Structure 1
């Protein structure tokens, strides 16, 4: 079980420990359906910022079998730390308890499809601030349902996650090929070889997709063979959302070689332009990507890349992230290490002036003195070594004797 799944399950357990009425941002509704001639219960989760950002409209994830998987979708949202990987979403759980669930798939398939598409979506859109970005999740028999809804002519859904079985025929793909799509649709299919009940249905559907010409359908089939029929749903919701939003996240790289292979700064800028166009976001490179690249160059001790990122993304240096003596000292020490004494002096001086009482004061004075010493300005070197000693004495700094020896070494 991977760490992401473990985090989700732990959060899910915490969420489920409370009643739905004790949880904030979750509302229960009953929809009286003319199509089904019956009432259906739905649960709706609203993002934490819903009541704050009054003008914001949110994508919606419709979860079939909400009685089992609604809180899993909520847990994924609850564990988001900002919108770095996935956006905030409205989660709709459609309850399908047995024995009604079995009856739906045996006798009322078409009616239930129309109920979801026409009545549930209309109810949610009328009551909440939704965007046109609607996704579906279905497990087992519901996987076939969500695939059918995605393939419908004039479908209001942009993506579907179908796990542990689905049902796609050549007739369905041929019909979809004849449709005029306004934008691409996405389908994520997941299963495990241990799902002896439905693996054949998944494989057959994938075989049909492989033989079809559907340029407006982006799809993927993944096997999670460490999971079983009953456990895969928890993994596939998260992985399916990551698949749909694979162009949404901030960029992160493990090495400068990977950054270069990606296409460097030009391709990073293109990525955010495409991302902005697809999801209605800013087309500027986001601060998280800028920060991670600066950090990467520093951690990999690649001074050439560090200079590039500090120049290209200089605007991020004035944000709150770097508003501390800690960061001013870190930059100063890195420039000092690589003998860029002018930039080193700049950051040490900036840190000393902005944060005069910080614990890094002695270290910054010492670094500033060392930079001046390398530039041959012994007067400024001695002045700043004295300040380092003074600050170290004030703060009982364990490096006090080092600073005294540095001062004594300046003639």
Structure 2
């Protein structure tokens, strides 16, 4: 009896220490911290750097996303990069978060912005390029006063970054007058606002009007209005939508809305996406099987038989169906069902026959074929 008590006591003690050890946990480290001695700023400047998971095991080069106010936005961009990788929405990229503190950030991005430009251009970027495998493709993001800094950086050095992302940029109202619309800017610009930001919205609307009425050669730009956001939150959707658009050709073409697809240019639009994807990222220049299926599927979802048949025939229907049979046979069943829905029972039967060659003992397919034959007989 005593032995049982002692054994139980030992077990309880061991369990206690086990739980205690587990509660202490293991540090969750994201990226590395670097301290740069800046002669331009005359201070030690902290930056956070995140490398893609396969960085150490590859010899690839990577784009770099520079994030102002890294103490606030760095982890968000890391999270976005991981999500993009999971869904194959963007190539891997290095993230550099430039830490700042309150209230110093207002001076660095305002009256002292020329020094901060110098730090970024002549100290930080060379440091990153010398110590990491960079591709020479750079993006810069800033929110609020950081967004204003991004705008001034773009005006002074339009080709230093491949894209400039500004969330609720302030103040830029007067600086917009200095934007030379007769110049050439081979870069991309994304700027965003919440409709509830009174003064900030005056600025972004002014910039939108100027760029709309006087397009700048080479400048590809987009303006986002986030109705559900507020001043303090616009940075997060700006990063998501800005990065998604900048890397839009990395994802294989996909459409879920027939009207949007047609308005964007239809098949010519899709084929151009595939060509740009091949040119920029080395993928095959043809539309993938999945891309072609989503195009046909968009017509089925819209219950538009005319465009369904037109798009299906434009893809060399027999070859396309055979590819689906081999790789995505569930899609053939969906197409057969859509044929039945539109009283095209003979086409549905032919597709069921193709599927039955692959699955000859499928009771479900045999039943569907039988029902289609019955409907065809009644129709005749």
Q: Normalising by the residue count of structure 2, what TM-score does the alignment of the two structures yield?
A: 0.73
Match of 1:152 in 2: 156
Q: Distance in 2 between matches of 1:217 and 1:327?
A: 41
Deviations 1:191-232 (A, max 9, x none): 235335644554555566567562222334444354332222
Q: After superposition, where does 1:175-254 map in structure 2 within 5 Å?
A: 177-178=182-183, 184-196=186-198, 198-202=200-204, 205=207, 209=211, 214-245=216-247, 250-254=253-257
Q: Distance in 1 between matches of 2:191 and 2:338?
A: 47
Aligned CA distance change for structure 1 residues 166 and 287 (closer, same or farther; 3 Å): farther
Q: Distance in 2 between matches of 1:223 and 1:330?
A: 38
User: 1:60 pairs with 54, 61, 64, which one?
Assistant: 64
Match of 2:44 in 1: 39
Q: Distance in 2 between matches of 1:328 and 1:349?
A: 11
Match of 1:143 in 2: 147
Q: Aligned residues, how many?
A: 348
Q: Distance in 2 between matches of 1:375 and 1:207?
A: 59
Match of 2:28 in 1: 22
Aligned CA distance change for structure 1 residues 104 and 303 (closer, same or farther; 3 Å): closer
- SS of equivalent residue, structure 1 residue 145: helix
Q: Distance in 1 between matches of 2:165 and 2:330?
A: 45
Q: After superposition, where does 1:379-394 map in structure 2 within 5 Å?
A: none
Q: Distance in 2 between matches of 1:154 and 1:324?
A: 46
Gaps of 5+ in 2: 1-24
Deviations 1:77-106 (A, max 9, x none): 233365565444332211112344244245
Q: Distance in 2 between matches of 1:275 and 1:324?
A: 23
Deviation at 1:302, TM superposition (A): 4.1
Match of 1:123 in 2: 127
Deviation at 1:36, TM superposition (A): 2.8
Q: After superposition, where does 1:12-411 map in structure 2 within 5 Å?
A: 22-23=28-29, 26-48=31-53, 50=55, 54=58, 56-80=60-84, 82=86, 85-105=89-109, 108-153=112-157, 155-164=159-168, 165-167=170-172, 169=175, 172-174=178-180, 177-178=182-183, 184-196=186-198, 198-202=200-204, 205=207, 209=211, 214-245=216-247, 250-255=253-258, 257-277=259-279, 281-311=283-313, 312=315, 323=327, 326-335=330-339, 338-339=343-344, 341=346, 344-345=349-350, 347-355=351-359, 361-369=362-370
Aligned CA distance change for structure 1 residues 333 and 208 (closer, same or farther; 3 Å): closer
8 Å Cα contact 2:349-2:369 kept in structure 1: yes
Aligned CA distance change for structure 1 residues 339 and 268 (closer, same or farther; 3 Å): same
8 Å Cα contact 1:331-1:344 kept in structure 2: no
Q: Distance in 1 between matches of 2:128 and 2:122?
A: 10
Gaps of 5+ in 1: 1-18, 377-411
Q: Distance in 1 between matches of 2:276 and 2:348?
A: 35
Deviation at 1:362, TM superposition (A): 0.7
Deviation at 1:279, TM superposition (A): 5.9
Q: Normalising by the residue count of structure 1, what TM-score does the alignment of the two structures yield?
A: 0.68
Cα RMSD of the aligned pairs, angstroms, is 4.0
- SS of equivalent residue, structure 1 residue 188: strand
8 Å Cα contact 2:110-2:149 kept in structure 1: no
Q: Distance in 2 between matches of 1:293 and 1:130?
A: 36
Q: Distance in 1 between matches of 2:26 and 2:101?
A: 17
Aligned CA distance change for structure 1 residues 104 and 367 (closer, same or farther; 3 Å): closer
Deviation at 1:294, TM superposition (A): 2.6
8 Å Cα contact 2:324-2:332 kept in structure 1: no
Aligned CA distance change for structure 1 residues 81 and 111 (closer, same or farther; 3 Å): closer
